[in-house]
Amino acid sequence: MPSTPHIAIIGVTGAVGQEFLRVLDQRDFPIGRLTLLASARSAGKKATFRDQSYTIEQLTEDSFKNVDLALFSAGGSISRKFAPIASDAGATVVDNSSAFRQTDGVPLIVPEVNADAMNGISLGKGGIIANPNCSTIIMLVPVTPLHRAAGVERMVVSTYQAASGAGQAAMLELEQQTREVLDDQPPTCEVFDRQYAFNLFSHNSDIGDDGYNTEETKMVRETHKIWGDPNVGITATCVRVPVMRAHAESINLQLNSPLTADEARDILAAAPGVGIIDDRPNNRFPTPLDASGQDDVLVGRLRNDVSRGDDGRGIDMFVCGDQLLKGAALNAVQIAEKLL
């Protein structure tokens, strides 16, 4: 196993690709050689990493010679084509798309939750590891410690998802629309088919025959796979809100065993990857602005679910997490760190 691996970043010009560079630098990840890959449209452009200039190369089937670690964030179709090629060439792939999340034999990993599912995969020896959906990651980092303590029987989650989840183009469109609406001009609607600024709407993913959109279904199916338990009841409502960066989620847990809000707060305060903002007297709780640029998922509004009477088996909480960091790039790099 190389101590200073050759790393390739696929989709480096996108929002998550840029976060890959920042996270690798901030966490002082050891790198022997770095290859930056993107589409033909971006090939030839320059990028700077650790004070060194790199030329972005076009992604091809020959891009993975001697690559030890390939970080993919270029969309599902690109991953489906090139991730197996990279793996066959000996690169260990960490894929940020949905392409392999439900594929048998491909581990779906949140390092704080199920790192042991990667056992048997070694850096530079091939293999594919899937990064979960951003909303699933942000939910499971704080919910899993409570699940281990009291057992989650049923979970109801409503998400408030930022523009960052739809990529750099959506972030730019939100900024542009905000200016246009304030200037009493018709908003430019190219990424989304409706006004986004000063508005909110159901998540912009396909809706199935059951009425659930793809984002909601991902949260259910991915949680079942990560926890290894298909019997936990989960229902989700995913909404796009006009926030630039960082997703928020309102989570209600029905537990197998009683757990007080104070006990839940103590468990979460000791949990990796979790930060607490739960100041009731000052009505101070997590916000997307608090979470933006932060590694931790922030938790607050911890309270017992009064609808359950006195049985103590319900917890409500509100969480915020940076979609580009823990919801994407940071989680992928943490996976890579486990392989070192």
- Active-site amino acid positions: 134, 247
Q: Which of 239, 235, 255, 237 is nearest to 143 (CA)?
A: 255
Distance (Å, whole) CA 96 – CA 83: 11
Distance (Å, whole) CA 71 – CA 326: 15
Distance (Å, whole) CA 266 – CA 241: 31
Distance (Å, whole) CA 69 – CA 35: 10
Give the CA diameter of the chain: 64
Bridge-based pairing of strands 247-255 and 152-161 is: antiparallel
Bridge-based pairing of strands 6-10 and 33-38 is: parallel
Q: What is the CA radius of gyration of the chain?
A: 20
